[in-house]
Amino acid sequence: MVVGRSSASRALGTAMLYAAVLGYVVFALFPLFWTLKISVTPTRLLYGHGIPLWPAITTLGNYVKVLAESDFPHYFLNSVIVSVSTGLVVTAIASSAGYALSRFRFRGKGAVAFALLLTQTFPLVMVIPPIYRIFGALHLTDSLRGLIVIYTAFNIPFATFLMQSFFDGVPRDLEEAAMVDGCTRLQALRRVVLPLTLPGMGATIGFVFTAAWSELLFALMLINDDSAKTFAVGLLDFIGKFAVDWGEMMAASVLGLVPACLFFALLQRYLVAGLTAGAVKG
Amino acid sequence: MTRSATAGVAREPAAGRRPRAVRRRAGAALEPWLYLAPALTVLMVVLLVPLGFGIAYSLRHFTAFGSRYVGLDQYRRMLSDPILGQALLNTLWWTGASVVLQFGFGLGLALLLNHNFAGRRLVQAVVFLPWAVPSFLAGLTWAWLFNPVIGPIPHWLTAIGLQKTPTDILAEPGIALWGPIIANVWFGIPFFAITLLAALKAIPAELYEAAAVDGAGVVQRFARLTLPFLAPTIAITVMLRTIWIATFADLIFVMTGGGPAGATETVATYVYVTAFSTLDKGYASAVSVLLLALLILYAVGLIRMRRRLLAMA
């Protein structure tokens, strides 16, 4: 009797577990699915056909138009240049800083770590008015270089904590053994520590790439010239200008999701490290 | 062991002639700062200096032709700014509702993923995906879902009788803020789920076995074992996340631009729109100084409360 009841309640528990899991999966995927659906729906089927889960006819015409007839390929290229450059520059600078925080004990270390944490909680909208004026004076508006500079600053603190955690993961005994064998500290760093932190550097580049790829507000403020527009700015302008071309807009959005999803797949293993390092980055 | 090893590395051996040893010690003291220098320089030049400028701007009035010193005039102007009052209230709603819902659903998801079930790894990859979606795309996607022309949500709301005809909730002042909040919950669940799941995995399984042997039920085990173990993670993630969401302007900017009629304006979007669209950099700076002050107050209050709770315990 007792056994029967507990197995029944266990079955009920399992059913509830799967129902809850299904709920989360649907909630996570539905918005993306809907964007994909509209992007392959022919425009004439968009109106007056209700809201079917999948259109009767699908088309890739929207993608062809976005890739062949619009400025989006150019915007994508700009975003790739900005995001890759920011990823590389930040990772180089943050590796150096993360190494210092991981391997040295020195006066002021606590203060540096605290200051880095503080910049993470700092409302970035605060620097919008001054950055706009300063960058204007330095001719850094309407240029990809300006975006790289500002994104580099935004991402250094979080990337430094991330790199510090990767350096912490390399046992000190290894480099000390190399130094006992006659290597200088730099040689030990180059031959022993760096090869072991390469995957971590790759992950840091990925996190920074994703952050730079996603940034909108500063890009929108600093870029007016069509030749320097990033994907985010291009998409928002597109909405302003061609407010009703839903299919093309969604096709462009789906294309913009591709690099983010690719990096997400590659970064899965490092998500915990990444989120705890930059607890505020989202 | 590694501790003592560090000390060995950081402290130079006393051997060798004295001046050289001193020089080497000075060099060793400088070394970490050399590694930190590029990072600190960039942060100084690109964040700290503009921050100083921003505070100075808050005391100046900007026009198309230049600026002049106005003292605290713009702070006084804030007192009688009805949009700012609304924005402060909205910021509370936006932040509170987003954090509570993100945390609640994130904790639920973490607890689910802490079970073993068929396909768990695939499910985990799928439910964490919104984290990778660029925030402006998350905002646009949800704005489209709420759109009666191409989105399903207004039709569903009509079908279950919540709306008479399909309309865009983002256009209705009374409820518009819920649009960005829902998008923010979608976007932020993975953050809490990932960090809380990592904390859950760190709880030793033997403790649960011991509790089960002692006859503790599911609810008791959760309240007496899981929650106390998660508490430190919860405290730090909720605090940092609250600050982050309070200043997070992308979703609202993309979905409603602060409208209709300021119904979804938060302090962060107000700063952005004021600086960017109306080009009133002085006033935008003053409002952003207010935002910074409120965040500092919040953090200090929280730290004090924590101290009092610790003293009571």
Q: How many separate helices (H) and strands (E) can be counted in chain B? A: 15, 2
**B239 membership: H or E segment, kind and range:** helix B227-246
> Is residue A223 packed enough to be buried (19+ CB in 10 Å), middle (13-18) or exposed (0-12)?
buried
Dump pLDDT digits (tens) for A111-163. 998 888 888 777 888 888 889 888 989 999 999 999 999 999 999 999 999 99
- Burial label for A81, CB within 10 Å (0-12, 13-18, 19+), is middle
> pLDDT band for position B14 (50/70/90)?
very low
Query: pLDDT tens digits for B266-293?
Result: 999 999 988 877 778 899 999 999 999 9
The Cα of B252 is separated from the nearest Cα of chain A by a number of Å equal to 11
| Residues B16/A80, Cβ–Cβ less than 8 Å | no
pLDDT at B6: 41
Q: Does residue B11 surpass a pLDDT of 60?
A: no
Q: Does residue A81 surpass a pLDDT of 80?
A: yes
Angle between helices A72-103 and A61-69 (to 10 degrees): 80
Q: Which of residues 64-123 of A touch B (CB under 8 A)?
A: 93-94, 96-97, 99-101, 103-107, 109, 112, 116, 119-123
Q: Residue A3's pLDDT is what?
A: 46
CA–CA separation, B68 and B57 (whole Å): 10
Beta-carbon contacts of A58 under 8 Å, excluding residues fewer than 6 positions away, are A40, A41, A42
Are the Cβ atoms of B272 and A128 closer than 8 angstroms? yes
- The reported pLDDT for the residue numbered A99 is 94
Average pLDDT over residues A54-74: 89
- Interface ipTM: 0.89
> Any idea which residue has 């197995």 for tokens?
A7
- Partner residues linked to B63 by β-bridges: B66
Q: Which token pair is B144?
A: 């489209």
Average pLDDT over residues B252-276: 91
Look at residues A273, A115, A193, A114 and name the one whose alpha carbon lies nearest to residue B9: A193
Rounded (5°) CA angle B143-B145-B150:
105
Q: Does residue B217 register a pLDDT over 90? A: no
Residues of B in contact with A46 (CB under 8 A): 149-150
Residue with token string 């979007």: B269
Q: How far apart are alpha carbons B184 and B189 in whole angstroms?
A: 8
Model pLDDT, residue B283: 92
The rounded distance, in Å, linking the Cα atoms of A249 and A34 is: 13
C-beta of residue B62 within 8 angstroms of C-beta of residue B281 = yes
Q: How far apart are CA B59 and CA B77, in angstroms?
A: 12
Q: Is the pLDDT confidence value at A29 over 70?
A: yes
Contact criterion met (CB below 8 Å) for A101 and A164 = yes
Q: Buried b / exposed e across B246-270, counting CB within 10 Å, b at 16+?
A: bbbbbbbbbbbebbeebbbbbbbbb
According to the model, what pLDDT value does residue B127 have?
Answer: 94
Asked if the Cβ–Cβ distance from A129 to B275 is below 8 Å, we say yes
State the pLDDT at residue A50. Answer: 64
Q: Report how far residue A71's alpha carbon sits from residue B120's, in angstroms, rounded to the nearest whole number.
A: 41
Candidates A102, A120, A127: best to mutate against B (most CBs of B within 10 A) is: A127
Q: What is the pLDDT of residues A5-18, one digit of tens each?
A: 578 888 888 899 99
Average pLDDT of chain B is 87
Task: Give how far Cα B47 sits from Cα of A22, A39, A90, A151, A215, Å.
Answer: 44, 40, 15, 11, 17
Strands (E), chain B: 60-63, 66-69
What percent of chain A shows pLDDT beyond 70?
Answer: 94
Q: What is the pLDDT of residue A143?
A: 92
Planar angle of CA A193, A197, A199, nearest 5 degrees: 155
**Residue range A180-197: average pLDDT?**
87
User: Residue for token digits 């503080």?
Assistant: A118
Domains of chain B as residue ranges with CATH: 74-312 (1.10.3720.10)
Provide the pLDDT for residue A75.
95
Q: Where are the domains positioned within chain A?
A: 2-39, 70-276
H helices of chain A, in order, are 2-39, 61-69, 72-103, 109-120, 128-137, 144-168, 172-180, 185-188, 194-214, 217-222, 231-241, 246-267, 271-277
Distance from CA of B313 to the nearest CA of A (A): 27
Angle made by CA atoms A111, A112, A113, in degrees to the nearest 5: 90
Instruction: Give the mean pLDDT of A201-213.
Output: 93
Question: Which pLDDT does position A223 carry in this prediction?
Answer: 92
State yes or no: pLDDT of B181 exceeds 90: yes
Question: Can you give the pLDDT at residue A101?
Answer: 94
Task: Collect all residues with Cβ–Cβ distance below 8 Å to A96 and sequence separation of at least 6.
Answer: B35, B36, B38, B39
> Is the model's pLDDT at B55 over the cut of 50?
yes
Closest CA to B172 of B146, B152, B151: B146
Q: Region A59-84: what's the mean pLDDT?
A: 92
User: Does the pLDDT at position B298 exceed 80?
Assistant: yes
CATH 1.10.3720.10 for domain A70-276: yes
- Please answer yes or no on whether A29 and B126 come within 8 Å at the CB atom: yes
Give the residue-averaged pLDDT of B161-186: 92
